[in-house]
Amino acid sequence: MVISVRDLDCLATSPAGALPIHAVRPETLSTFLETRPPAQAAYVRGTGFTAKSGAVALLPGSAGVTGALLGLGDGTDPMAFGALPFALPEGSSCAFAGQLDCPEGASLAYLLGAYRFDQLRATAGRPPARLVLPKGCGKAVSIATATWLVRDLINLPANILGPDTLAETARHLLAGLGAEIQMIDGAALQAAYPLVAAVGQGSARKPHVLVARWQARDAGPNAPLISLCGKGVCFDTGGYDLKPAASMLRMKKDMAGAAIALGLAKLLIENEIPIRLEVRLGCVENSISGDAMRPLDVIRSRRGLTVAIGNTDAEGRLVLADLLAEASDANPDLLLDFATLTGAARVALGPDIGAFFCNDDTLAMRIETAARIQHDPVWRLPLWNGYNSLLESHGCDLNNVSEKPYAGAIVAALFLQRFVRPGTRWAHFDLYAFNDSGRPGRPEGGEAQGLRAAWELTSKIVNNSVAIK
C-alpha cells in the first residue's frame, strides 16, 4: 500500500470573481474603514472586529459578500492568513488586495490553513475557499504540498500506516523523483541494523530500513552531501516497559521524524537543490510479544558498541543510532535527524517549540536564523558532556537510558552522539509534531514541525548564500 501525495485543492485556476482580502492591523483599521462605503464600515464596526490576529470579517455589499478583512494583530507571524480558507464562503475564491509584507509567507499560511484530514470519513467536510496565488509564490505550493503529505502520514492510524506502508510510500515517492532506493528487511536488516531489528522483533509487522540516494543534475562529485535520518516508529506501545493508556493515545505519531525527513527530501529534490542527498528511514513498530526485546537485554549495535536496554520505551534512539552510524560513516557535509524522541523536550519547551541539539555552534546559529525566517520555532538545548556518565552501564558499553530522572532529552541526544562519527556536522531535532488544538495555519492533528526551518537551512546553505563549512 502507498499513501499518495495530495494535490492542493485550495488554489484558484482563474482570478475571475475572486473576493479581495484586505489585511489590516489594529493601528490601520480606522484609516482603512474610512475608505469604505459608510454602511459597510458601520457593519464592520458593529461586529466588534478589532483586527486581532486571525480574525476575519466579511464585507457586505448589495450583491452579498464583496470581500473580507483579515486581522494581523501586532505580530509578524503570517499564520493569520491561515484563518481564511474556511472563514470565507464555501465555493468562493479570493485574492490578496493591497501591499503585503511577504506575499509568499501569506500564501503559504493560507495553503497550510486549508489542510484538513477527512479521508477516513464517510462524508468529506466542506472544501476550502480557493486562493488566487500571487506571482512568484510557487515555492509556497511546494512547501505546502510536502507539509500536507507529512500531516497525512502522521494523522493516519497505525492499522493503516504500518512499517511496510511507511517504507513503501517513501520508496514510491523518492524513486518517482529519481532517487536510487535500497529496501532492507529480514536477515539483511538484522545484520546491518541490529538495534532497529531489536526494536521491531516483537511485532508481527516486521521492520524495514529505507536508504535513498539522489544527486542533482547540476551537482558534481564534490557537491555537498546532505544526509537525513528519520525515526519511523509507526506505533509505540513502550514494549515491556508498557506506556500508560493515556500516553499511548498519541503514539500513531511516533513515525513523524521519518515523515518530516521524507517531506524535506521531497522539497530538496523537486527544487533541484544542487547537492548529493542520502535519506535513511527506520520504519518499525515497538510492540509486545514473546519475541520482544526485554529490559536489560544487551545488543551489539552497528557501530560495535554494546547497548543495555534499560528501558524498552526508549526505542527511538535505538532506531536512530544505527542509521546515524551508517550515515556519518559516509562523511556527509551535514547530517540531520528528526524524531519524536522524548517527553522531556516537551516538558522543557512545550508542544509548539521543537528542541534541537547541535555539535557545531555556527550550524546551530544558522538553524536558529532559518527557524525565525520561516516562523517555525526551534530552540537549542545543550549537548552537555557532563551528563555522559549517566549513560554508563555495568558490563557493557552504555545504557540506552539514565537511572536518574532528569535531563532526559539531553541524555537521549548524548546517546545518539556516541554513534555519530567525530568531525561530522550534526543536528538532532526532538519534536512533538502534533497540534493538540487548531489555530490559523495549524489545524488540529499531525504537524510537520521543523520542516520549514530545515528546508530554509538546507536550501540556502548549498545555494552559496551561506557557506556549508
> Which amino acid would we find at residue 462?
V
Using CA atoms, how far residue 319 sits from 288, 322, 337, 340, 425, in Å, is 17, 6, 11, 12, 20
Domain limit, last residue, from 99, 127, 155: 127
Residue 69 · residue 56 · CB < 8 Å: yes
Identify the domain containing residue 118 by its residue range. 19-127
CA–CA distance, 292 with 199 (Å, rounded to integer): 8
Same-domain pairing of 123 and 147 = no
Q: pLDDT tens digits, residue range 415-449?
A: 999 999 999 999 999 999 999 999 999 999 999 99
**Residue type (1 letter), 160:** I
- Tell which residue, 335, 336, 370, 371, has the closest CA to residue 352: 371
The letter for the amino acid at 210 is L
**Residue 317 annotated to the active site:** yes
Distance of CA 258 to the CA centre of its chain: 9
Domain total in the chain: 2
Strands 445-446 and 434-435: antiparallel
Is residue 106 within 8 A of residue 116, CB to CB? The reply is no
> Is residue 435 domain-resident?
yes
Do 123 and 269 fall within a single domain? no
Same domain, 61 and 157: no
Q: Per-residue pLDDT for 469 more than 70?
A: no
Q: Of the candidates 71, 66, 63, which has an alpha carbon nearest to the alpha carbon of residue 29?
A: 71
DSSP string for 74-96? TS--GGGGGGSTTTSPTT-EEEE
CB 33 within 8 A of CB 71: no
Q: Are residues 254 and 368 in the same domain?
A: yes
Distance of CA 143 to the CA centre of its chain: 11
Which of 337, 1, 336 is CA-nearest to residue 167? 1
With respect to residue 409, please indicate whether it lies within any of the assigned structural domains: yes
| 194 contact partners, CB below 8 Å, separation of at least 6 | 299, 300, 301, 302, 322
Choosing from 25, 139, 205, 243, the catalytic residue is: 243
Tell whether pTM > 0.95: yes
Q: Is the dihedral angle over the CA atoms 164, 170, 171, 173 positive or is it negative? A: positive
Residue 114 and residue 236 share a domain: no
Q: What is the pLDDT averaged over residues 334-360?
A: 98
At 152 the pLDDT is 98
pLDDT at position 467 over 60: no
Mean pLDDT of the chain: 96
Amino acid at 277: L
Cα(135)–Cα(104) distance, integer angstroms: 9
Predicted confidence at residue 465, as pLDDT, reads 44
Let me know whether 268 and 360 are in one domain. yes
Query: CATH number, domain at 122?
Result: 3.40.220.10
Our measurement of the distance from residue 112's CA atom to the centroid of its chain's CA atoms, rounded to an integer in Å, reads 13
Judge contact between 72 and 25, C-beta under 8 A: yes
Q: Which three cell numbers stand for residue 439?
A: 489555530
List the CATH number of the domain containing 195: 3.40.630.10
Which amino acid is present at 467? Answer: A
Of 58, 57, 41, 38, give the one whose Cα is nearest residue 49. Answer: 57
Residue 124: its pLDDT value, please? Answer: 87
266 and 374 in a single domain? The answer is: yes
Examine the domain organization and report whether 109 and 186 are in the same domain. Answer: no
Could you report the per-residue pLDDT of 254-291, keeping only the tens digit for each? 999 999 999 999 999 999 999 999 999 999 999 999 99
Residues 284 and 428 in one domain: yes
Query: Which one of 116, 317, 418, 442 is the catalytic residue?
Result: 317
Q: Is residue 13 part of a domain?
A: no
Residue where a domain terminates, one of 80, 99, 127 = 127
Could you tell me if 156 and 123 lie in one domain? Answer: no
Point out the domain boundary residue: 127, 159, 191: 127
**Which phi and psi (to 5°) does residue 434 adopt?**
-155, 140
User: Same domain for 298 and 374?
Assistant: yes
Q: What is the mean pLDDT of the segment spanning 61-72?
A: 94
> What is the grid cell recorded at 232?
519511523
